Structure 1
Amino acid sequence: MSPLAYRSRHAVVLLATAALLASGCAKSETTTAAPGPSDSQAQGQVVQTPTGSAGPGCTLKQYGGTAFDLKTAVVGFSQSEKEANPFRIAETQSIKDEAAKAGIANLKVTNAQSQFSKQISDVQQLIAQGAKLLVIAPLNSDGWEPVLQQAAAKKVPIITIDRKINAKHCTDYLTFIGSDFTEQGKRAADQMIKAMGGKGKVAILLGSPGNNVTTERTAGFKEQMAAEAPEIEITFEQTGEFAREKGQQVTEQLIQSNPDIDGIYAENDEMALGAVTALKGAGKKPGDVKIVSIDGTRGAVQGIVDGWLQAVIESNPRFGALAFSTAQKFLDGESIPEKVTIADREYDEASAKSSLPQTY
């Protein structure tokens, strides 16, 4: 698909999303708005479950266990990373805010501080404290067996957000709620192709290894680049671990080893902002190196306004309303798909300034 065709298709999606938000209801099986009015819905929290791609459904009867009152039950939320990243701050706040709106009186929140062993311990402790539902933002996709075994023994449903875990749907976990990360990578590639004029050398600041977000954002970007811009060469790839400081360090190395680099694809905004710091330190001017990133934080979108970034693909962190409405549907006996996809915006030079109030 050409970048023009892709952008045209994306425009149709945005128009459909806007129509749904304006009407407050959904009339098709492929796109539905988060039920009930909420701040998250007003900010674009839209569920997309395309027929045939959402995976098989899972009911309470299939999963096992018995129904419970979400308002009085212990509900556990496990955050994975330090809340220095605006995405994590917005994600945790969404869970807290929407739990309050849903009347959930006993929400327990933990933060693993970017330590996987701590996250495993955190979730096990939540189960020991009597959690009836777990909402987990996983640090890694693998290594969850101890938690899954403990949760399965007590029939505690698990909803993962933002990242998947490598486990069996409707046996180990209920559903995954998140973005289409492969599509994000493709959209980032389209913006990079546009910014670079279809030719030049580009570097990739990879996210943390060991999770599906990095894998899929990388695959989508490379796939689209190969198909649509054969004259753009990917000459450098190194992990920046989704961190600003690491993104700066890697970009400083990049400037030394690849002084003729034309573009940087950062797999999150924090690494992109670190790259900007490195480019400033090297005496570069806005636009000398084209930067496209993913997340949609206020700092990155401001970077577009200031000329340092060319585009940002949003990764929507506002999972609270979807997580708890999905849990309630499950408890009411409805079938829950393997994946629920949240809609993401896109920011570029034309839209960045007016869109700043919508960012996080």
Structure 2
Amino acid sequence: MKARTTMMTASVLALALGTAATAQDTIKIGLAPYGLNAEFMQLWTNAAEQHPAVTSGLVELTVFDGRYDALVQQDQFETMITQGFDAIVFAPIDVEAGATAVQLAHDAGIPVVGSNTRVNSDLLTSYVGSDDVQAGYLEAKAVLDKMGCTGAVVVIEGPIGQSAQIQRGEGNEKALAECPEVTVLEQQTANWSRAEAQSLMENWLTSHGENIKGVIAQNDEMALGAIEAIKAAGMDVSDFAIAGVDGVTDALNAVKAGQMASILQDGAAQAQGAIDVAIKAVKPDYEPMSEIWSQYPDMPWNGGTDAEYNVPWTPVTAENVDDLLAARQ
């Protein structure tokens, strides 16, 4: 009995040591999206959770819902620092306020990789996202081209102070400058929200009626809200030029129905690319496990040390919309 007990003790000790070694080898990464209410950030987050390094157990990924609040995100960074996370992937709600959180992590020796939205900090290990100025230009141009560069538009903005709102706004202005005869009747934030955009558009239709010829919405959710308001007012959606950004599922269907234009933002590539870069910052000999680097040969891995990785946009067209929808199944 005594020998058996000793053998069992040795076995338990070996198992414990093996478990400790495994836990030590596991890389703890915190994923910090600005909020998870809408489909785009859900797709971005789901893609991160499906990264091969996560599903294989190399990475333990913890998701923190920022709830569209910069202070909440800062508190979450403090939690990750206290709990000894190895790296953080950060999509901030505010371009300025997010810098404080990055500073805290940097001071604690934790690398931070930005993704999707930007932060005004030079302490990021890298940034994996897309050019929002280009997106803002492309969506506004789609609206203005349909209008023939004449008439009046309304602009529905993202959360004020977030990088996507700022940069897509710059792109919107660039396109509008090319059409000096176009008037901007209203410009206001709907905070990426379909419901808020619907309410705004209802008010604007009451104030301006058929004078509104175009709707430049800085994301698809808000464009879809504007469409709902137009329908609720008994007006014909085809009488308006409407565009958004992201390529969420309902927007793809609306493009297919001829109701709006959209530009697909590949959140999956952004999130998985950011996970690869974050692992590299912790494990110098790491080679990327995501397929996105072969999917976008114009965005080479370059050893995972580039300061910025720019995922291309994909304009949604009648020719590619079915394939894009099929990819969501």
Into which bin does the TM-score normalised by the smaller protein fall? 0.7 to 0.9
Does residue 244 (structure 1) correspond to residue 194 (structure 2)? The answer is: yes
Which of residues 179, 182, 193 is equivalent to 1:232? 182
User: Which residue in 2 is equivalent to 1:338?
Assistant: 307
Q: Which amino acid aligns with 1:264?
A: V
User: Which residue in 1 is equivalent to 2:295?
Assistant: none
Q: Which of the pair has the greater relative contact order for Cα pairs under 8 Å at 6+ separation?
A: 1
Unaligned 5+ segments in structure 1 are 1-68
Unaligned 5+ segments in structure 2 are 1-22, 286-302
Larger Rg: 2
Between the aligned partners of 1:100 and 1:303, the Cα distance in structure 2 is: 34
User: Which residue in 2 is equivalent to 1:317?
Assistant: 267
Secondary structure of 1:155's match?
coil
Matches within 5 A, 1:114-129: 114-129=68-83
Does residue 295 (structure 1) correspond to residue 295 (structure 2)? The answer is: no
Secondary structure of 1:258's match?
helix
Per the normalisation by structure 1, the TM-score is 0.74
Instruction: Give the fraction of aligned pairs with identical amino acids, expressed as a percent.
Output: 24
User: Which residue in 2 is equivalent to 1:136?
Assistant: 90
- Residue 352 to residue 106, structure 1, CA distance change in 2 (3 Å): closer
Between the aligned partners of 2:272 and 2:207, the Cα distance in structure 1 is: 46
Contact 1:297 1:359 in 2 (8 A): no
Q: Which amino acid aligns with 1:177?
A: V
Deviations 1:89-143 (A, max 9, x none): 1011011111424643422211122222211111210111111101111111112
User: Which residue in 1 is equivalent to 2:50?
Assistant: 97
Secondary structure of 2:30's match?
strand
Between the aligned partners of 2:40 and 2:276, the Cα distance in structure 1 is: 21
Q: Which structure carries more helix by proportion?
A: 2
Secondary structure of 1:264's match?
strand
Per the normalisation by structure 2, the TM-score is 0.81
Q: CA deviation at 1:230?
A: 2.5
Q: CA deviation at 1:285?
A: 1.4
Which of residues 122, 141, 150 is equivalent to 1:199? 150
Q: Which amino acid aligns with 2:58?
A: I
Deviations 1:291-342 (A, max 9, x none): 1110101101111222321x10112211232112223444427572322111
Secondary structure of 2:50's match?
helix
